Protein backbone atom coordinates (compact mmCIF):
# COMPACT_ATOMS: atom_id res chain seq x y z
CA UNK A 1 0.00 0.00 0.00
CA UNK A 2 1.66 3.27 -1.06
CA UNK A 3 -0.27 5.82 1.05
CA UNK A 4 -2.55 5.81 4.09
CA UNK A 5 -5.61 6.59 1.94
CA UNK A 6 -4.75 3.91 -0.63
CA UNK A 7 -6.65 0.64 -0.56
CA UNK A 8 -4.85 -2.61 0.19
CA UNK A 9 -4.55 -4.62 -3.03
CA UNK A 10 -5.76 -8.16 -2.35
CA UNK A 11 -5.43 -11.45 -4.23
CA UNK A 12 -7.16 -14.74 -3.46
CA UNK A 13 -5.68 -18.19 -4.08
CA UNK A 14 -8.31 -20.92 -4.49
CA UNK A 15 -11.58 -19.62 -6.00
CA UNK A 16 -14.00 -22.01 -4.30
CA UNK A 17 -16.70 -21.98 -1.65
CA UNK A 18 -15.05 -20.11 1.23
CA UNK A 19 -13.23 -17.72 -1.11
CA UNK A 20 -16.56 -16.54 -2.49
CA UNK A 21 -18.74 -16.76 0.62
CA UNK A 22 -16.31 -15.09 3.02
CA UNK A 23 -13.13 -13.60 1.55
CA UNK A 24 -14.23 -12.01 -1.75
CA UNK A 25 -17.48 -10.71 -0.33
CA UNK A 26 -15.62 -9.19 2.64
CA UNK A 27 -12.90 -7.56 0.51
CA UNK A 28 -15.53 -6.31 -1.94
CA UNK A 29 -17.48 -4.50 0.79
CA UNK A 30 -14.52 -3.32 2.87
CA UNK A 31 -13.52 0.32 2.27
CA UNK A 32 -9.85 -0.50 2.92
CA UNK A 33 -9.42 -3.27 0.34
CA UNK A 34 -9.61 -3.83 -3.38
CA UNK A 35 -9.69 -7.33 -4.86
CA UNK A 36 -7.24 -7.25 -7.77
CA UNK A 37 -6.74 -10.91 -8.68
CA UNK A 38 -7.68 -14.50 -8.15
CA UNK A 39 -5.86 -17.76 -8.84
CA UNK A 40 -7.29 -21.24 -9.22
CA UNK A 41 -5.65 -24.25 -10.82
CA UNK A 42 -8.88 -24.53 -12.82
CA UNK A 43 -8.54 -21.40 -15.00
CA UNK A 44 -12.23 -21.48 -15.94
CA UNK A 45 -13.16 -21.30 -12.26
CA UNK A 46 -10.74 -18.39 -11.71
CA UNK A 47 -12.20 -16.60 -14.71
CA UNK A 48 -15.80 -16.99 -13.53
CA UNK A 49 -14.80 -15.63 -10.13
CA UNK A 50 -12.78 -12.79 -11.68
CA UNK A 51 -15.66 -11.77 -13.95
CA UNK A 52 -17.97 -11.52 -10.96
CA UNK A 53 -15.55 -9.38 -8.92
CA UNK A 54 -13.94 -7.41 -11.78
CA UNK A 55 -10.39 -8.61 -11.16
CA UNK A 56 -7.69 -10.55 -13.03
CA UNK A 57 -7.68 -14.36 -13.30
CA UNK A 58 -4.64 -16.68 -13.10
CA UNK A 59 -4.00 -20.40 -12.90
CA UNK A 60 -0.50 -20.06 -11.50
CA UNK A 61 0.32 -18.54 -8.11
CA UNK A 62 3.83 -17.29 -8.94
CA UNK A 63 2.57 -15.52 -12.07
CA UNK A 64 -0.18 -13.81 -10.09
CA UNK A 65 2.27 -12.64 -7.42
CA UNK A 66 4.87 -11.43 -9.95
CA UNK A 67 2.26 -9.66 -12.12
CA UNK A 68 0.04 -8.01 -9.52
CA UNK A 69 2.35 -7.47 -6.51
CA UNK A 70 -0.60 -7.61 -4.07
CA UNK A 71 -0.28 -6.26 -0.50
CA UNK A 72 -2.46 -9.03 0.90
CA UNK A 73 -3.19 -12.62 -0.09
CA UNK A 74 -6.01 -14.86 1.14
CA UNK A 75 -5.14 -18.55 0.86
CA UNK A 76 -8.36 -20.52 0.26
CA UNK A 77 -6.98 -23.58 -1.53
CA UNK A 78 -7.35 -27.15 -0.18
CA UNK A 79 -5.34 -27.91 2.99
CA UNK A 80 -2.51 -29.67 1.17
CA UNK A 81 -1.55 -26.41 -0.61
CA UNK A 82 -1.74 -23.95 2.33
CA UNK A 83 1.96 -24.38 3.17
CA UNK A 84 3.26 -23.72 -0.35
CA UNK A 85 0.82 -20.89 -1.05
CA UNK A 86 1.48 -19.11 2.25
CA UNK A 87 5.27 -19.37 1.79
CA UNK A 88 5.01 -18.06 -1.79
CA UNK A 89 2.86 -15.10 -0.70
CA UNK A 90 5.16 -14.22 2.22
CA UNK A 91 8.21 -14.48 -0.03
CA UNK A 92 6.52 -12.02 -2.40
CA UNK A 93 6.17 -9.52 0.48
CA UNK A 94 2.45 -10.05 1.16
CA UNK A 95 0.48 -10.20 4.39
CA UNK A 96 -1.49 -13.44 4.49
CA UNK A 97 -4.87 -14.59 5.75
CA UNK A 98 -4.85 -18.39 5.46
CA UNK A 99 -7.89 -20.58 5.83
CA UNK A 100 -7.85 -23.24 8.53
CA UNK A 101 -6.22 -25.63 9.15
CA UNK A 102 -2.83 -23.89 8.93
CA UNK A 103 -1.28 -26.85 7.10
CA UNK A 104 -1.05 -30.64 6.88
CA UNK A 105 1.66 -31.08 9.57
CA UNK A 106 3.05 -29.16 12.54
CA UNK A 107 6.43 -28.98 10.79
CA UNK A 108 4.83 -27.10 7.90
CA UNK A 109 2.94 -24.78 10.29
CA UNK A 110 6.21 -24.05 12.10
CA UNK A 111 7.96 -23.20 8.85
CA UNK A 112 5.10 -20.83 7.99
CA UNK A 113 5.41 -19.15 11.39
CA UNK A 114 9.16 -18.63 10.92
CA UNK A 115 8.68 -17.35 7.37
CA UNK A 116 6.15 -14.74 8.55
CA UNK A 117 8.51 -13.60 11.31
CA UNK A 118 11.40 -13.33 8.87
CA UNK A 119 9.31 -11.42 6.34
CA UNK A 120 7.84 -9.21 9.12
CA UNK A 121 4.38 -9.73 7.68
CA UNK A 122 1.07 -10.60 9.30
CA UNK A 123 0.14 -14.28 8.97
CA UNK A 124 -3.32 -14.92 10.42
CA UNK A 125 -5.50 -18.02 10.30
CA UNK A 126 -9.25 -17.92 9.80
CA UNK A 127 -10.22 -19.53 13.10
CA UNK A 128 -13.25 -17.29 13.02
CA UNK A 129 -15.25 -18.78 15.91
CA UNK A 130 -12.88 -17.20 18.41
CA UNK A 131 -14.02 -13.78 17.13
CA UNK A 132 -17.62 -14.43 18.24
CA UNK A 133 -18.62 -12.06 21.05
CA UNK A 134 -19.59 -15.21 23.01
CA UNK A 135 -16.00 -16.46 22.89
CA UNK A 136 -14.53 -13.06 23.74
CA UNK A 137 -16.87 -12.78 26.75
CA UNK A 138 -16.03 -16.32 27.89
CA UNK A 139 -12.28 -15.68 27.61
CA UNK A 140 -12.65 -12.57 29.80
CA UNK A 141 -14.71 -14.44 32.39
CA UNK A 142 -12.39 -17.46 32.53
CA UNK A 143 -9.38 -15.15 32.88
CA UNK A 144 -11.19 -13.18 35.63
CA UNK A 145 -11.85 -16.42 37.55
CA UNK A 146 -15.67 -16.42 37.30
CA UNK A 147 -15.64 -20.18 36.62
CA UNK A 148 -12.89 -20.89 39.17
CA UNK A 149 -10.55 -23.69 38.14
CA UNK A 150 -11.80 -25.13 34.83
CA UNK A 151 -11.00 -28.82 35.05
CA UNK A 152 -13.26 -30.42 32.41
CA UNK A 153 -13.87 -28.98 28.94
CA UNK A 154 -16.10 -30.75 26.42
CA UNK A 155 -15.67 -29.86 22.76
CA UNK A 156 -18.27 -30.98 20.20
CA UNK A 157 -18.18 -30.53 16.43
CA UNK A 158 -20.64 -33.18 15.35
CA UNK A 159 -22.77 -33.79 12.29
CA UNK A 160 -25.24 -36.65 11.97
CA UNK A 161 -24.75 -36.88 8.21
CA UNK A 162 -22.83 -33.88 6.96
CA UNK A 163 -19.99 -35.06 4.77
CA UNK A 164 -19.11 -32.10 2.49
CA UNK A 165 -20.34 -32.92 -1.00
CA UNK A 166 -17.98 -30.45 -2.72
CA UNK A 167 -14.21 -30.02 -2.81
CA UNK A 168 -11.75 -32.65 -1.57
CA UNK A 169 -12.92 -33.04 2.04
CA UNK A 170 -13.06 -36.85 1.86
CA UNK A 171 -9.54 -37.19 0.42
CA UNK A 172 -6.90 -37.75 3.10
CA UNK A 173 -3.91 -36.92 0.92
CA UNK A 174 -5.34 -33.48 0.00
CA UNK A 175 -7.02 -32.65 3.32
CA UNK A 176 -4.93 -34.43 5.95
CA UNK A 177 -8.01 -35.93 7.60
CA UNK A 178 -11.78 -35.68 8.05
CA UNK A 179 -13.95 -33.95 10.67
CA UNK A 180 -11.10 -33.33 13.14
CA UNK A 181 -9.00 -31.22 10.76
CA UNK A 182 -12.09 -29.67 9.16
CA UNK A 183 -14.64 -28.81 11.88
CA UNK A 184 -13.27 -30.24 15.15
CA UNK A 185 -10.29 -27.90 14.77
CA UNK A 186 -12.63 -24.87 14.93
CA UNK A 187 -14.14 -25.80 18.29
CA UNK A 188 -10.74 -26.98 19.59
CA UNK A 189 -9.31 -23.56 18.74
CA UNK A 190 -12.23 -21.76 20.40
CA UNK A 191 -11.84 -23.90 23.55
CA UNK A 192 -8.05 -23.45 23.72
CA UNK A 193 -8.46 -19.68 23.22
CA UNK A 194 -10.97 -19.45 26.07
CA UNK A 195 -8.72 -21.55 28.33
CA UNK A 196 -5.69 -19.36 27.52
CA UNK A 197 -3.80 -22.09 25.61
CA UNK A 198 -2.82 -24.26 28.63
CA UNK A 199 0.06 -26.70 28.04
CA UNK A 200 -1.03 -30.17 26.96
CA UNK A 201 0.67 -33.12 28.63
CA UNK A 202 -0.76 -36.07 26.69
CA UNK A 203 -3.35 -37.11 24.14
CA UNK A 204 -5.40 -40.28 23.60
CA UNK A 205 -7.87 -40.78 20.76
CA UNK A 206 -10.04 -43.19 18.79
CA UNK A 207 -11.15 -42.64 15.22
CA UNK A 208 -13.69 -44.49 13.06
CA UNK A 209 -14.58 -44.88 9.39
CA UNK A 210 -17.94 -46.61 9.53
CA UNK A 211 -20.55 -44.54 7.64
CA UNK A 212 -18.63 -42.44 5.07
CA UNK A 213 -17.79 -45.56 3.12
CA UNK A 214 -21.32 -47.00 3.08
CA UNK A 215 -23.53 -43.88 2.75
CA UNK A 216 -23.26 -41.33 -0.04
CA UNK A 217 -25.68 -38.50 0.66
CA UNK A 218 -26.48 -36.09 3.46
CA UNK A 219 -27.17 -32.46 4.41
CA UNK A 220 -24.21 -31.15 2.36
CA UNK A 221 -24.83 -33.15 -0.82
CA UNK A 222 -23.41 -36.38 -2.13
CA UNK A 223 -19.96 -37.95 -2.08
CA UNK A 224 -18.23 -41.02 -3.44
CA UNK A 225 -18.03 -43.68 -0.69
CA UNK A 226 -15.36 -45.57 -2.67
CA UNK A 227 -12.90 -42.66 -2.35
CA UNK A 228 -13.75 -41.74 1.26
CA UNK A 229 -10.31 -42.06 2.89
CA UNK A 230 -10.70 -39.86 6.00
CA UNK A 231 -12.14 -40.67 9.45
CA UNK A 232 -15.87 -40.03 9.80
CA UNK A 233 -15.83 -39.75 13.61
CA UNK A 234 -13.12 -39.14 16.17
CA UNK A 235 -13.04 -38.96 19.97
CA UNK A 236 -10.05 -37.65 21.91
CA UNK A 237 -9.00 -36.73 25.43
CA UNK A 238 -6.30 -34.15 26.10
CA UNK A 239 -4.72 -33.97 29.53
CA UNK A 240 -3.33 -30.59 30.53
CA UNK A 241 -0.24 -29.99 32.68
CA UNK A 242 -2.58 -28.21 35.14
CA UNK A 243 -4.48 -31.49 35.75
CA UNK A 244 -7.57 -30.56 33.74
CA UNK A 245 -8.88 -32.49 30.74
CA UNK A 246 -10.47 -31.62 27.42
CA UNK A 247 -12.71 -34.19 25.72
CA UNK A 248 -13.33 -33.74 22.02
CA UNK A 249 -16.00 -35.39 19.86
CA UNK A 250 -16.19 -34.71 16.15
CA UNK A 251 -17.94 -36.32 13.19
CA UNK A 252 -18.99 -35.92 9.57
CA UNK A 253 -21.40 -38.84 10.07
CA UNK A 254 -22.57 -40.41 13.32
CA UNK A 255 -25.93 -41.77 14.43
CA UNK A 256 -26.88 -38.98 16.84
CA UNK A 257 -30.26 -37.21 17.15
CA UNK A 258 -28.99 -33.73 16.29
CA UNK A 259 -28.25 -32.72 12.72
CA UNK A 260 -25.29 -30.68 13.91
CA UNK A 261 -23.68 -29.60 17.20
CA UNK A 262 -20.88 -27.01 17.34
CA UNK A 263 -20.31 -26.05 20.96
CA UNK A 264 -18.02 -26.16 23.97
CA UNK A 265 -18.83 -26.63 27.65
CA UNK A 266 -16.52 -25.59 30.47
CA UNK A 267 -16.87 -27.01 33.99
CA UNK A 268 -15.09 -25.09 36.73
CA UNK A 269 -15.19 -25.44 40.51
CA UNK A 270 -17.12 -22.15 40.86
CA UNK A 271 -19.32 -22.24 37.76
CA UNK A 272 -19.93 -23.94 34.44
CA UNK A 273 -20.48 -22.44 31.01
CA UNK A 274 -21.74 -23.18 27.51
CA UNK A 275 -20.11 -21.25 24.69
CA UNK A 276 -22.78 -20.69 21.99
CA UNK A 277 -24.63 -18.66 23.07
CA UNK A 278 -22.43 -17.72 26.04
CA UNK A 279 -24.11 -18.85 29.23
CA UNK A 280 -22.43 -19.01 32.64
CA UNK A 281 -24.26 -20.79 35.44
CA UNK A 282 -23.81 -22.45 38.80
CA UNK A 283 -25.77 -24.60 41.16
CA UNK A 284 -27.50 -23.13 44.21
CA UNK A 285 -28.92 -25.89 46.43
CA UNK A 286 -29.96 -27.98 43.44
CA UNK A 287 -31.22 -25.04 41.34
CA UNK A 288 -29.46 -23.82 38.19
CA UNK A 289 -28.69 -20.12 38.54
CA UNK A 290 -27.62 -18.05 35.52
CA UNK A 291 -24.73 -15.71 36.25
CA UNK A 292 -24.33 -14.30 32.74
CA UNK A 293 -26.01 -14.95 29.41
CA UNK A 294 -26.04 -13.79 25.81
CA UNK A 295 -29.47 -14.46 24.28
CA UNK A 296 -28.24 -15.39 20.82
CA UNK A 297 -24.85 -16.59 19.59
CA UNK A 298 -22.97 -13.94 17.59
CA UNK A 299 -23.32 -14.63 13.87
CA UNK A 300 -20.82 -11.95 12.77
CA UNK A 301 -17.75 -13.96 13.75
CA UNK A 302 -16.47 -14.48 10.21
CA UNK A 303 -16.78 -10.78 9.43
CA UNK A 304 -14.96 -9.96 12.70
CA UNK A 305 -12.11 -12.36 11.85
CA UNK A 306 -11.55 -10.79 8.42
CA UNK A 307 -11.96 -7.29 9.78
CA UNK A 308 -9.38 -7.86 12.55
CA UNK A 309 -6.90 -9.14 9.95
CA UNK A 310 -7.28 -6.05 7.75
CA UNK A 311 -7.01 -3.74 10.78
CA UNK A 312 -3.84 -5.57 11.87
CA UNK A 313 -2.33 -5.22 8.41
CA UNK A 314 -3.11 -1.50 8.58
CA UNK A 315 -1.12 -1.31 11.81
CA UNK A 316 -3.73 -1.54 14.61
CA UNK A 317 -2.58 -3.73 17.50
CA UNK A 318 -5.77 -5.85 17.37
CA UNK A 319 -5.76 -9.59 18.06
CA UNK A 320 -5.82 -12.04 15.17
CA UNK A 321 -5.47 -15.84 15.22
CA UNK A 322 -1.66 -15.68 15.27
CA UNK A 323 0.73 -18.00 13.41
CA UNK A 324 2.10 -19.23 16.76
CA UNK A 325 -1.34 -20.31 17.94
CA UNK A 326 -2.04 -21.89 14.55
CA UNK A 327 1.11 -23.93 14.99
CA UNK A 328 0.03 -25.02 18.48
CA UNK A 329 -3.41 -26.10 17.25
CA UNK A 330 -1.80 -27.98 14.33
CA UNK A 331 0.48 -29.79 16.83
CA UNK A 332 -2.56 -30.92 18.80
CA UNK A 333 -4.39 -32.12 15.67
CA UNK A 334 -1.29 -34.04 14.62
CA UNK A 335 -0.95 -35.62 18.08
CA UNK A 336 -4.65 -36.58 18.14
CA UNK A 337 -4.36 -38.30 14.74
CA UNK A 338 -1.16 -40.06 15.82
CA UNK A 339 -2.79 -41.26 19.05
CA UNK A 340 -5.80 -42.60 17.12
CA UNK A 341 -3.77 -44.23 14.35
CA UNK A 342 -1.15 -45.82 16.62
CA UNK A 343 -3.53 -46.65 19.48
CA UNK A 344 -1.15 -45.16 22.03
CA UNK A 345 -1.01 -42.20 24.40
CA UNK A 346 1.04 -39.42 22.81
CA UNK A 347 3.08 -37.36 25.26
CA UNK A 348 3.70 -33.74 24.23
Ligand X SMILES: NC(=O)c1ccc[n+]([C@@H]2O[C@H](COP(=O)([O-])OP(=O)(O)OC[C@H]3O[C@@H](n4cnc5c(N)ncnc54)[C@H](O)[C@@H]3O)[C@@H](O)[C@H]2O)c1
Nearest Cα neighbor of 187 from 77, 276, 294 is: 276
CA–CA separation, 99 and 85 (whole Å): 11
Instruction: Name which of 57 and 280 has its Cβ closer to ligand X.
Output: 57
Site track for ligand X across 166-195, x = CB under 6 A: xx--------------x-------------
Instruction: Name which of 122 and 273 has its Cβ closer to ligand X.
Output: 122
Which range of residues in 17-25, 27-35, 194-202, 319-327 is near ligand X by CB under 6 A?
17-25
Interacting positions 237-276 with ligand X (CB under 6 A) = none
Nearest-approach distance from CB 54 to ligand X, in angstroms: 19
Which range of residues in 38-46, 236-244, 268-276, 335-343 is near ligand X by CB under 6 A?
38-46
SS (H, E, C) the chain: CCCCCCCEEEEEECCCHHHHHHHHHHHHHCCCEEEEEEECCCHHHHHHHHHHHCCEEECCHHHHHHHHCCCEEEECCCHHHHHHHHHHHHHCCCEEEECCCCCCCHHHHHHHHHHHHHHCCCEEECCHHHHCHHHHHHHHHHHHCCCCCEEEEEEEEEECECCCCCCCCCCHHHHCCCHHHHHHHHHHHHHHHHHCCCCEEEEEEEEECCCCCCCCEECCEECCHHHCCCCCEEEEEEEECCCCEEEEEEECECCCCCCEEEEEEEEECCCEEECCCCEEEEEECCEEEEEEECCCCCCCHHHHHHHHHHHHHCCCCCCCCEHHHHHHHHHHHHHHHHHHHHCCCEEC
CA–CA separation, 311 and 313 (whole Å): 5
Residue from the set 8, 12, 36, 39 that interacts with ligand X by CB under 6 A: 39
Say if strands 233-240 and 200-208 run parallel, antiparallel, or are unpaired: antiparallel
CA–CA separation, 131 and 341 (whole Å): 32
Interacting positions 122-151 with ligand X (CB under 6 A) = 126, 128
Nearest-approach distance from CB 305 to ligand X, in angstroms: 8
Nearest-approach distance from CB 249 to ligand X, in angstroms: 19
Residue from the set 6, 42, 140, 173 that interacts with ligand X by CB under 6 A: 42
Residue nearest to ligand X (CB): 16
Nearest-approach distance from CB 286 to ligand X, in angstroms: 40
Interacting positions 77-96 with ligand X (CB under 6 A) = 77-79, 81
Nearest-approach distance from CB 144 to ligand X, in angstroms: 29
Interacting positions 98-117 with ligand X (CB under 6 A) = 99-100
Nearest-approach distance from CB 267 to ligand X, in angstroms: 27
Residue from the set 8, 14, 179, 306 that interacts with ligand X by CB under 6 A: 14
Nearest-approach distance from CB 199 to ligand X, in angstroms: 26
Instruction: Name which of 37 and 78 has its Cβ closer to ligand X.
Output: 78
Nearest-approach distance from CB 16 to ligand X, in angstroms: 2
Residue 76 contacts ligand X per CB under 6 A: yes
Instruction: Name which of 18 and 291 has its Cβ closer to ligand X.
Output: 18
Give contact residues for ligand X (rule: CB under 6 A): 13-19, 39-42, 45, 76-79, 81, 99-100, 126, 128, 166-167, 182
Amino acid sequence: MSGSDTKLRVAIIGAGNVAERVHASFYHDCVDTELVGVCDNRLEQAQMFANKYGCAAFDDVETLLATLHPDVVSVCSPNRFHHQHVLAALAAGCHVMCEKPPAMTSEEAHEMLLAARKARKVLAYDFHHRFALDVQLMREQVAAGTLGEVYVTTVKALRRCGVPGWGVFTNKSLQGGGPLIDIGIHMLDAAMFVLGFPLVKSVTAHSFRKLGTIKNTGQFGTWDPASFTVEDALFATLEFNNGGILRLETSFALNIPEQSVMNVQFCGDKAGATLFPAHIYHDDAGELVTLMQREVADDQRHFRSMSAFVDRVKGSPVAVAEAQQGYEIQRLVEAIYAAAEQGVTIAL
